[in-house]
Amino acid sequence: MKGKIGLEEHFSITDTLGDSQQYFTPDKWPEFKYRLLDIHERRLAEMDENEIEFAVISLNSPAIQAILNPQQAIDMAKRANDFLAEQIAKQPKRFAGFAALPMQNPDAAIAELQRTVKDYGFKGALVNGFTQLDVDDSSVYYDLPQYEPFWAEMEKLDLPFYMHPRSPLPSQRRIYEGHRWLIGAAWGFGVETATHSLRLMGSGLFDKYPKLKIILGHLGEMLPNSIWRTSHRISIAPRGVKSQKPFYYYLQNNFYVTTSGNFHLPTMLAAMLEMGSDRVLFSTDYPFEQMSEASTWFDAAEISDIEREKIGRLNAKKLFKLDFLD
C-alpha cells in the first residue's frame, strides 16, 4: 500500500543511546546503533522501499523517564526535542515529532509540550511509561493527582499522548526471576503498559477529560483481548475504582492502538472488533522491528482495501491533522 504513515518510529541522541544497547547482542549493536542515530539515510531509504510516506518520530526508551534529577530531565528533554526539530526541518514532508517530556515535574512537562507544539509543530507527546524520581527504586504513574493539570493541557491542545513501554524496575521483577527473556518486549513491556493504562481508566481521568486521546503500541498491549473481563470483574467488585463508565468504554472512546511490532492478523482483527477500525493505525517500531516485515505483512493482510487505507493512512492523517499530505 502506498502512502503509509508510521507512528512508533524511534531515534536516539548520543546521550540516550545507551538505554537501547541492552536490547541487542554485541554483534548486532553496531548496526542498530547506526539505525537509531540515523534519520536521513537508511531510514528514509527504507521508508521509500516500503511505501511509507510519513513518520512521526520519537525518542528511544526509557530515556527521559529514567533520569532521577528533575532539572537534568528537563534539560535532556529540551536537548532531544531541539535536535529532533532540526532534523524534521530538513524533511518536513516526511517527518514530524512527538515531544519527549520531563514528567518528573508536571509543570515543566506542560511547558515543554507547549513549547514544542508552538515552536516546532510537534504532533503530541510520547512518554516511556512511568517516571523515576530522585531515587532509583521509584516509579511515578500518571493517574496521580499532580498530573491533572498536564492532562487538562493535553485535552486543551487536542493532541495524542503515546504511552510507550519500559521494563519494570528490578524490585518489581520477582515473577521474572530466572526468566529474563520475559522482562522486555516479549512480555513485560505489555503488562507494564497495560496496567498503567488501566490505572488511568480506573482513576476517573477520562470522566474529567473525556476528549483525551491515548495511543498504545503493539495492537494495544493485550488490552483489546482482556478488557471485557477486566470491566466485568470490576463491575462486580469495584474496590475503590473511581471511573463512571465500564473500562471497555474508555478503550473504545479514548484510546487508539498501532500495529507496531505486532504483525499478526488475528490480533489486529481483535482490536478492530473491540475498538473499531477507526482506532487502529499502522506503525513499525523501527529500528527495533523491520519496516519490510511490517509493510509486507500489512499490505497483504486479509482486510478490505477500505480498512487498509484507513489503518495505513487515513486514521493517522485525521488524528494528527496531516492535511498537507495529499
CA–CA distance, 120 with 116 (Å, rounded to integer): 5
| Grid cell listed for 266 | 488475528
Q: How far is CA 1 from CA 35, 92, 213, 325, in A?
A: 24, 22, 26, 15
Is position 143 annotated as part of the catalytic site? no
- In CATH terms, 4-319 corresponds, of 3.20.20.140, 3.40.50.2300, 3.40.50.11540, 2.40.50.100, to 3.20.20.140
Q: What is the pLDDT of residues 74-133, one digit of tens each?
A: 999 999 999 999 999 999 999 999 999 999 999 999 999 999 999 999 999 999 999 999
pLDDT (average), residues 272-299: 98
Rounded Cα distance between 265 and 277, Å, is 13
In this predicted structure, what is the pLDDT of residue 81? 98
pLDDT-derived band of residue 315, with 50, 70 and 90 as boundaries? Answer: very high
Cell of 312: 495505513
pLDDT at residue 326 greater than cutoff 90: no
Has this prediction a pTM greater than 0.85?
A: yes
27, 137, 143, 285: which one is catalytic?
Answer: 285
Decide if 106 contacts 145 (C-beta within 8 A).
Answer: no
Q: What's the number of CA atoms in the CB half-sphere (13 Å) around residue 135?
A: 3
Helix ranges (DSSP H) in the chain: 18-21, 29-37, 42-49, 70-90, 106-120, 148-157, 188-202, 205-208, 223-236, 247-254, 265-275, 291-300, 305-309, 315-319
pLDDT at residue 248 tops 90: yes
Give Cα separations from 21 to 34, 160, 285, 319 (angstroms).
12, 28, 16, 32
C-alpha cell at 272: 478492530
